[in-house]
Amino acid sequence: MRLLGLWSLLSVATLASAHLPPRDHVAHDYYAIHVSSSSSSSASLDELATHLGLTYLGPLGALEDHHVFKAPKHESDIVDDAVQELKRRRLKSRVDSHVLDNVLFTQKQKLKPRHWKRSIIPKRQNIAVHGNAAAVKAQQDIAKTLSIKDPIFNEQWHLFNTKTPGNDVNVTGVWLDGITGKNVTACIVDDGLDMDSQDLKDNFYAEGSYDFNDDDPLPKPRLLDDQHGTRCAGEVAAGRNNACGVGLAYDSRISGVRILSGQISDMDEAAAINYKLQDNDIYSCSWGPPDDGKTMEGPGILIKKAMLTAVQKGRGGKGSIYVFAAGNGANNGDNCNFDGYTNSIYSITVGAIDQNNEHPYYSEACSAQLVVTYSSGGGESIHTTDIGANKCTASHGGTSAAGPIAVGVYALVLSARPELTWRDLQWLTVETAISFDQPSDWKKTPGMGRMFSHQFGYGKLDAYAIVEAAKTWKLVKPQAWFWSPWMHVKQAIPQGDKGLASSFEVTEQMLKDANLERVEHITLTMNAEHERRGDLSVELISPENMTSHLSVTRKGDEEAVGYDDWTFMSVAHWGEKGVGKWTVVVKDTEVNDKTGNFTDWKLRLWGECIDASKAKDLPLPTTHDDDDHDVIDDHPAHTTSVSVPTGTPVSVDPSNLPTRPVNQKPTGTSQADSSATPSPSAAAASATASPENFLPSIFPTFGVSKRTQIWIYGSIGLILVFVAGLGTYFYLARRKRLQSTRDSYEFEILDEADDDEGGARAGMLAGAGGARSGRRAKRGGELYDAFAGESDEDLLSESEDGDGPYRDRDESPYDEKAHLAEGSGSDGESAGKRH
Ligand SMILES: *[C@@H]1O[C@H](CO)[C@@H](O)[C@H](O)[C@H]1NC(C)=O
Ligand SMILES: *[C@@H]1O[C@H](CO)[C@@H](O)[C@H](O)[C@H]1NC(C)=O
Ligand SMILES: *[C@@H]1O[C@H](CO)[C@@H](O)[C@H](O)[C@H]1NC(C)=O
Ligand SMILES: *[C@@H]1O[C@H](CO)[C@@H](O)[C@H](O)[C@H]1NC(C)=O
């Protein structure tokens, strides 16, 4: 009896914990499968498993209707093969309803190279604190008032700087107001968290923690160089006690998710990155793809879905907060817009400044960087908790150390004002970050009237200023977005300083119809072919004349490809209206024999909505979101129909054309508001060789057959004309198609039939750069395969030798571990170290 009761209790507990059994990638393959919600029942999942010879393991983290299956190791992707086979049979004859019909997405899992930790071991000067007497006295008074007895509090200059008063995060006033991070949980996604450390154990939150490397409930650091996460945790939430120093939010809870201490698959990273999304409020991520100045990599589709899920559902729907370290590759010419984690609109990207408010050589710039805060450089570094019962380090650094300081500040903000959404936190950052006197490309943004620089974002975080602002902050309305059609350029990029420009005119009506009031983030997805990727750079000029440097040249990036559906992001247009001409300029400034073409682009404006009651959630991304580049819908009505760019479905009567025919030359900005029915020909791209001097666009008549059009397409002489016309054509066709099928035009999920059609058309257009979808479908695999042949050592060889940017070592009295590691020639702290 008793035993039985225990047994059932145990199995219930197993179910409730919902952790997958440990993975064995040697013996098994793992599949992440998205099924339609109607077939998420265990009976249907079992049926699917049986049909394919899989074993069902369980749900994939917090991703709705995503499940994990395993199969004995096999060379091919047996699930995708089965799905493709079914499609083939479908083409030949009717196949009765089938268990595979409910498979919406499948991905065989691969182990991928580990992310790089973004820490730098800084060169040390002396650690003696030569504070000015008055500042030291003030510091002592604060410590006394707050009963801070932590032995290294006086070394923690980033909290209270006695040497250069003011060069700190200005947090002590927040503490004196009684705001210390209560009731907020920050989760350190890293190489573990020493929950037994005296400095962390009281704030440690086990329920929010998990070890995805060793399948253990507790994120205990196990490898010699697993210090990184603990150091970051100390910056956020080291307790007010007798051990080391204090964290910025010393009464907050801290959890740890361990992913950096071994290879994992996308599926595990997806489960890790929103782990316990109702318990963990902020995810602190001081890692990313290699900062080597030649990598261009972002999160896979499952990870993207996991982040969006957290942003939509986490924190009770207010949205999980993601904080990412900008990256340490500045010395390698790297830029955080080549990192798909830091340039996500869902992450707050944090760069570093040193104790002198100077730019440390490592900290990457980019238009997606929101803010900076203190870290190593200028002879100092961050003093924080280390692994061990009561150990500290005086040499935490790199953007790895800046990110968690921001996390600590955000924990204080949420503690003061828990109802803030993920976007409110970004708004508050933009509004309160402080620009400072350092040479950079500072410019007052037209949107906010605040200073922005690609190197420092909107400036440095000021804890007091942001918490004060948060207390009375009026919450922003929900998010809305406007997406341009694909703008087809398909032209050679001139070499030299000129660049190739293409514009898109956003009308007031378009934004009204998109329910978009003002811009926050912009993203630009683009394609370019090039024989040397590092030669390219991209600028975006807004209607209010703010320039975002979306992409910069990278000396070390030899990759003989251009950009393949890469999405750049900018926060520099925050607060702009968005109406008017947006111009993208692609440059190939290196004059050499490596050339290329600018294929196409698509602009997305994200921001605050006009009418909150009409706001909706963005659907989760799919693998074919950007597969619509070359889709030509040849339904006859579409070539002449004009649609209103609105969310409401419009039935179009071909005889009821607007006052101005679509093939007439557009007259600029005024053409949209001059008529009650705004003309979508504003959608046409104009592409010229100079941004200052746009040729007027001339539109071809669409009376010709599609075949003829395709022929024209290939003709170089007419390419400009055609591109402009095609832009309109696609735009119209798309609008029409979308409006007739759903009540929103901003996105679409292509179904199978669409895919097939698209493929066929792409085939017809192959000579003109069609046939995209097949290539794109493989891209994820190619990314990972790119590393497959290389050993860890090969990948690292760069950072292994000498005093490279990741090798800035030092001697630290506290830093026995790092010391040890250095002695054995395996300095784990340096980015990219594998075992
Ligand atoms: C720093 O905090 C103090 C309160 O402790 C405040 O008076 C001061 O204005 C803050 N600095 C800035 C720049 O907001
Ligand atoms: C702590 O947070 C929870 C959930 O966000 C909330 O229900 C509770 O009221 C908060 N407690 C305090 C003391 O603020
Ligand atoms: C736009 O800004 C650039 C500098 O970024 C400046 O040179 C140019 O004159 C400005 N143009 C207008 C129309 O204000
Ligand atoms: C650019 O386009 C031209 C003309 O279509 C083509 O010959 C060339 O190979 C393209 N360049 C690249 C790098 O793909």
- In this prediction, residue 624 carries a pLDDT of 80
Ligand 3 atom showing the smallest separation from residue 547 Cα: 5
Q: Which range, of 199-213, 240-254, 738-752, averages the lowest pLDDT?
A: 738-752
- In this prediction, residue 6 carries a pLDDT of 45
Q: What is the dihedral of CA 807, 812, 814, 817, to 10 degrees?
A: 40
* Ligand with the closest atom to the CA of 542: 3
- φ, ψ at 554 (rounded to 5°): -130, 110
Is residue 376 flagged as an active site residue? no
Q: Which DSSP string do the residues of 630-679 spell out, in sequence order?
A: T-----HHHHH-----SSS-----TTS--SS-TTSPP-STHHHHTSSS--
Confidence of residue 40 (pLDDT cuts 50, 70, 90): confident
Distances (CA, A) of 443 to 350, 543, 575: 19, 16, 14
Ligand 4 atom showing the smallest separation from residue 597 Cα: 1
Give the mutation target among 545, 547, 692 for probing the ligand 3 site: most ligand atoms within 8 A of CB.
545
- In this prediction, residue 130 carries a pLDDT of 72
Q: Which residues pair with 585 in a beta bridge?
A: 501, 539
Distance 602 CA to ligand 4 centre (A): 21
- In this prediction, residue 788 carries a pLDDT of 32
Q: Which residue among the candidates 265, 400, 697, 830 is catalytic per the annotation?
A: 400
CB-CB neighbours of 651 under 10 Å:
10
- Could you report the per-residue pLDDT of 160-210, keeping only the tens digit for each? 999 999 999 999 999 999 999 999 999 999 999 999 999 999 999 999 999
- Could you report the per-residue pLDDT of 656-690, keeping only the tens digit for each? 333 333 333 333 333 333 333 333 333 333 443 33
Confidence of residue 629 (pLDDT cuts 50, 70, 90): confident
Confidence of residue 728 (pLDDT cuts 50, 70, 90): low
Confidence of residue 120 (pLDDT cuts 50, 70, 90): confident
Q: Which residues form the pocket of ligand 4, taking CB atoms under 6 Å from any ligand atom? A: 492, 529-531, 596-597
Q: Which residue among the candidates 29, 150, 168, 190 is catalytic per the annotation?
A: 190
- Could you report the per-residue pLDDT of 520-551, keeping only the tens digit for each? 999 999 999 999 999 999 999 999 999 999 99
- In this prediction, residue 92 carries a pLDDT of 80
Measured N-to-C along each axis, helices 399-416 and 228-237 cross at an angle, to the nearest 10 degrees, of 30
Token pair in block for residue 246: 């204090």
- Could you report the per-residue pLDDT of 769-800, keeping only the tens digit for each? 333 333 333 333 232 233 333 333 333 333 33
197 Cβ below 6 A of ligand 3: no
Q: How far is it, in rounded angstroms, from Cα 54 to Cα 249?
A: 46
- In this prediction, residue 539 carries a pLDDT of 98
- In this prediction, residue 121 carries a pLDDT of 74
Whether 53 has a pLDDT exceeding 50, the answer reads yes
183 Cβ below 6 A of ligand 2: yes
**Residue in this structure with the two tokens 């009963």, named with its chain if needed:** 147
Q: Which residues form the pocket of ligand 1, taking CB atoms under 6 Å from any ligand atom? A: 170, 173, 434, 462, 464-465
For the chain, the straight-line distance linking the first and the last C-alpha, in angstroms and rounded, comes to 49
Nearest CA to 423 out of 612, 288, 174, 257 is that of 612
- φ, ψ at 405 (rounded to 5°): -65, -45
- In this prediction, residue 623 carries a pLDDT of 83
Is residue 400 flagged as an active site residue? yes
Task: Give CA 123 to chain center in angstroms.
Answer: 31
Is residue 557 flagged as an active site residue? no
Nearest CA to 106 out of 82, 73, 74 is that of 82
Whether 346 has a pLDDT exceeding 90, the answer reads yes
- In this prediction, residue 126 carries a pLDDT of 54
Residue with CA closest to ligand 4 atom 9: 596
- Domain regions of the chain by residue span: 2-108, 116-471, 482-563+572-688
Distance 276 CA to ligand 1 centre (A): 35
Q: What is the mean pLDDT of residues 584-603?
A: 97
Cβ neighbours of residue 449 closer than 8 Å, sequence gap 6 or more: none
Superfamily of domain 2-108: Peptidase S8 propeptide/proteinase inhibitor I9 (3.30.70.80)
Cβ 559 vs Cβ 532: under 8 Å: yes
Q: What is the CA radius of gyration of the chain?
A: 27
Confidence of residue 125 (pLDDT cuts 50, 70, 90): low
Confidence of residue 626 (pLDDT cuts 50, 70, 90): confident
Ligand 2 atom showing the smallest separation from residue 183 Cα: 1
- In this prediction, residue 729 carries a pLDDT of 52
Alpha helices per DSSP H over 702-778: 706-714, 719-741, 752-764, 772-777
Cβ neighbours of residue 47 closer than 8 Å, sequence gap 6 or more: 99
Q: Which range, of 7-21, 229-243, 672-686, averages the lowest pLDDT?
A: 672-686
- In this prediction, residue 747 carries a pLDDT of 29
Give buried/exposed letters for 586-596 (b at 16+ CB in 10 A, else e): bbbeeeeebeb
Residue with CA closest to ligand 2 atom 8: 183
Q: Which residue among the candidates 34, 66, 158, 228 is catalytic per the annotation?
A: 228
Give the mutation target among 183, 185, 207 for probing the ligand 2 site: most ligand atoms within 8 A of CB.
183
* Ligand with the closest atom to the CA of 417: 2
In this structure, the chain runs to a length of 835
Confidence of residue 99 (pLDDT cuts 50, 70, 90): confident
Token pair in block for residue 700: 């071809």
Task: Report CA torsion sign: 184, 187, 193, 196.
Answer: positive
Q: Which DSSP string do the residues of 118-184 spell out, in sequence order?
A: ----PPP--------HHHHHHHHHHHHHTT---TTGGG-TTTS-SSSTT-S---HHHHHTT-S-TT-
Cβ 296 vs Cβ 366: under 8 Å: no
317 Cβ below 6 A of ligand 2: no
Q: What is the mean pLDDT of residues 31-38?
A: 94
**Residue in this structure with the two tokens 């370019």, named with its chain if needed:** 528
Cβ 355 vs Cβ 378: under 8 Å: yes
Distance 749 CA to ligand 2 centre (A): 38
Token pair in block for residue 324: 């990412």
- Strands 487-492, 596-609: parallel, antiparallel or unpaired by DSSP? antiparallel
Alpha helices per DSSP H over 489-635: 508-513
Residue with CA closest to ligand 1 atom 3: 173
Nearest CA to 494 out of 527, 535, 525 is that of 535
pTM for this entry:
0.78
* Ligand with the closest atom to the CA of 459: 1
- In this prediction, residue 631 carries a pLDDT of 55
One-letter-per-residue 3-state SS of 770-807: CCHHHHHHCHHHHHHHHHHCCCHHHHHHHHHCCCCCCC
Whether 128 has a pLDDT exceeding 90, the answer reads no
Q: What is the mean pLDDT of residues 628-646?
A: 37
Distance 464 CA to ligand 1 centre (A): 6
Whether 314 has a pLDDT exceeding 50, the answer reads yes
* Percentages of the chain per state (helix, strand, coil), in multiples of 5: 30, 20, 50
- In this prediction, residue 411 carries a pLDDT of 98
Q: What is the mean pLDDT of residues 641-649?
A: 27
Average pLDDT, rounded, for the chain:
79
Architecture of domain 116-471 in this structure: 3-Layer(aba) Sandwich (3.40)
Alpha helices per DSSP H over 193-263: 228-237
Cβ neighbours of residue 500 closer than 8 Å, sequence gap 6 or more: 489, 491, 492, 493, 494, 585, 586, 587, 598, 687, 688, 689
Record: fold of 482-563+572-688: Jelly Rolls (2.60.120)
Whether 441 has a pLDDT exceeding 90, the answer reads yes
Q: How far is it, in rounded angstroms, from Cα 314 to Cα 428?
A: 20
Q: How far is it, in rounded angstroms, from Cα 230 to Cα 234?
A: 6
Confidence of residue 12 (pLDDT cuts 50, 70, 90): very low
